[in-house]
Structure 1
Amino acid sequence: MHLRLIVPSDRSTRVLNALVDDARVTSIVLLPGAAHRPAGDVLECDVTREATSDVLSWLKIQGLYDEGSVAVTEVGATPSRNARAAEEAAPGAPDDAVIWDAVVDQAYNETSGSWVYYTFLTLATMIASVAVVTDSSILVVGAMVVGPEFGVVAALAVGLALRRHGLSIRAVVLLLKGFLLAIAVTALAALLARAVGWVDTAAVTAARPLTGFIWRPDRWSAVVAVLAGCAGVLSQTAGRANALVGVFISVTTVPAAGDLALSMALWAPGQIGGAAAQLGINLAGMTIAGVVTLILQRLIWRAYLARRHPPSANPAQFGQEDGCSNRSA
């Protein structure tokens, strides 16, 4: 991971020496007086993923989060001997390390409630409603992929696992507002479609061999939601975003919302309860699985670090704790 730091001048030497003395840090560059907002020295370095939370936690103690600046980006490739030596000095595997500050920061970003989030969720729900009318499994998959709700569910899991109540409340409120808006807009669109003769109640209540599972949840709905929640959180904490596509097309949140909107608008009471249950089961299953996954990751990593400390030249500088910023809602 690449760190770009703005360090107050009175702490620049201390931070520089600490980074130089740590075998898990390499490619260290200092530009004295180069920063203007905030003012200070610019310091850049590459840190192994396993040590990043450790280093960030120490930098927070030094006041860089409040009086300086910290930016973290992922390095695509480091084909150098120095980088390999730094990696060998760090314990564990990169995928096993969680950069908690990045996880928390991403969670707050996911709960910002942008108009783009509401738009994508509404569009996905409307696509799902068309899938119900046409009994199209392809459109169901499309709606799942377009839906942006998993990021907010993951943020809720982070808030619960790390006991950040403000973050948890933001995530719950955004989920409620997002799905209420998406269902309301989709229901209005369904009423308009009925008014012009495009759909009727029979389109919802007819036999749907390809999409009938949406409003008929069973034990496997909960199993898939739990498995998808575990996979989704792991993909985010391990930096494997490519796995999220599989998570999107595994859960039935958006399709259930689309079915629920249609059932209420065209009045198919026999499906309202089932669609609502499917939506609730998926959201609850993913959240619970995400919380458990995050807690286990913290416990496993702490246990590993307790057995093996990295060979740092100055181990007192960086404590072996998983850092996590004090950002509040």
Structure 2
Amino acid sequence: MLHIRVVCPPGTTDAAVELLVSEPGATLVSVQRGSAVEPVGDVVECAVARESGNAVLAGLRGLGIKHSGGIAIDPLETVLSDAAERAVRTAPGDPSDVVVWEELIAQTHDESTLSPTFLAFITIACLLAVVGVATDSPVTIVGAMVVGPEFGPLAAISVALVRKDFRLARRSALALLVGFPLAMAVAAAVSLVWERFGWITVRGIEDLHNVDFIYEVGPFSLVVALLAGAAGMLSLVTAKSAALVGVFISVTTIPAAGFAAVAATLGEWHKAFMSIGQLGVNMVGIVVAGVLVLWLRPRRAGEGGPVDRVRNWWLSDAT
């Protein structure tokens, strides 16, 4: 379930309460009149079944509360209440199938913002990839995969394409277009220094056996990217964050960027371009899979999957 907390101007409180009470999927409604200080108003709280989340949030937004007050959403892991159980049973659909769009957009928005923290993580991840290449160490490469923050912007692009939110798409693309080149430039500069010390050599790059999968692009590169992208998007919409770790270890986006930087400084342009190709295949596969997962899931409570949507469209068009 979801915990929704609303700060309402006094003039909209009764309408908000009426909306929540009339919604079968909402329960445990409480009102604290005059308790909000900034902005001044009343506080209304309730528990809402995930299946009813989009309808409730749309109704609250329709009252203009987003502009005159505020709406906060938090997941409820455990609710001990017969009324809550009835609300979940009454709400149409299955909780695990519903995408609460406001929640997903807020999450991907935060993960896709170009910031010093994002740049720091992607740069550190690229440097870890360089170390992994220099030492032919799969463990270090896996560490680079886990540290890399690139899945956030890629997932946000998928959400933006489905929702036609071009502002979110621009923000996410900016993070990737600035983050990857900057991280690769730092990785190349560090690689040049390490080459002067003899820590990285052309022979060492040619003799790689444990991490050569980074630049070897094949059909399974796309298959893995599609599967990882689908699993990642499912973990986001179902709040199964533990599954994201498996996604991070599956795709070679960051390692490919780091390897391309090392190979370029050594004049191994063929391997550098193959690594960039691996990076592109993985990024495109993740975005495509994310779009497909969002399209296949019900968009509203009680709505069926894609087959039902196509059938309903066909019948309505025929009539």
Q: Could you list the per-position Cα deviations for residues 209-262 of structure 1 after superposition, in whole angstroms to 9, with x for gaps in the alignment?
A: 211011111000001101111111111011111111111011110110110010
Which residue in 1 is equivalent to 2:233? 233
Which residue in 2 is equivalent to 1:94? 95
Deviation at 1:270, TM superposition (A): 2.5
Query: Matches of 2:105 and 2:65 in 1, distance apart?
Result: 17
Deviation at 1:294, TM superposition (A): 1.3
The 3 A distance-change label for structure 1 pair 299 and 6 is closer
CA RMSD of aligned residues (A): 1.5
Unaligned runs of at least 5 residues, structure 2? 306-319
Which residue in 1 is equivalent to 2:84? 83
Deviation at 1:302, TM superposition (A): 6.0
Query: Mapping of 1:213-252 within 5 angstroms?
Result: 213-252=213-252
Which residue in 2 is equivalent to 1:284? 284
Higher-RCO chain (CA-CA 8 Å, sequence separation at least 6): 1
Which residue in 2 is equivalent to 1:319? none
Unaligned runs of at least 5 residues, structure 1? 306-329
2:264 is the counterpart of 1:272: no
Q: Could you list the per-position Cα deviations for residues 281-309 of structure 1 after superposition, in whole angstroms to 9, with x for gaps in the alignment?
A: 0001101111122122245866339xxxx
Which residue in 2 is equivalent to 1:199? 200
The 3 A distance-change label for structure 1 pair 97 and 126 is same
Which residue in 1 is equivalent to 2:304? 304
Q: Which moved more, 1:62-71 or 1:75-84?
A: 75-84
When the two structures are superposed, what TM-score results if normalisation uses the length of structure 2? 0.92
The 3 A distance-change label for structure 1 pair 141 and 113 is same
Contact 1:161 1:292 in 2 (8 A): no
Aligned partner letter, 1:82: A
Q: Could you list the per-position Cα deviations for residues 105-163 of structure 1 after superposition, in whole angstroms to 9, with x for gaps in the alignment?
A: 22222222121111111111111111111111111111111111101100011111111
Contact 2:8 2:70 in 1 (8 A): yes
Aligned partner letter, 1:234: L
Which residue in 2 is equivalent to 1:107? 108
Aligned partner letter, 2:275: A
Aligned partner letter, 1:148: P
Q: Which moved more, 1:1-10 or 1:197-206?
A: 197-206
Q: Could you list the per-position Cα deviations for residues 78-101 of structure 1 after superposition, in whole angstroms to 9, with x for gaps in the alignment?
A: 122121111111122211111101
Which residue in 2 is equivalent to 1:138? 139
Which residue in 2 is equivalent to 1:5? 6
Contact 1:96 1:301 in 2 (8 A): no
Deviation at 1:197, TM superposition (A): 2.3
Contact 1:145 1:248 in 2 (8 A): yes
Aligned partner letter, 1:213: F
Contact 1:135 1:211 in 2 (8 A): yes
Query: Matches of 1:241 and 1:50 in 2, distance apart?
Result: 20
SS at match of 1:239: coil
Percent of pairs identical after alignment? 38
Which residue in 2 is equivalent to 1:175? 176
Query: Matches of 2:298 and 2:280 in 1, distance apart?
Result: 27
Query: Matches of 2:295 and 2:174 in 1, distance apart?
Result: 23
2:24 is the counterpart of 1:23: yes
Which residue in 1 is equivalent to 2:162? 161
Count of aligned positions: 304
SS at match of 1:240: coil
Deviation at 1:12, TM superposition (A): 0.7
SS at match of 2:43: strand
Query: Matches of 2:66 and 2:202 in 1, distance apart?
Result: 57
Query: Matches of 1:300 and 1:43 in 2, distance apart?
Result: 24
Query: Matches of 1:303 and 1:54 in 2, distance apart?
Result: 13
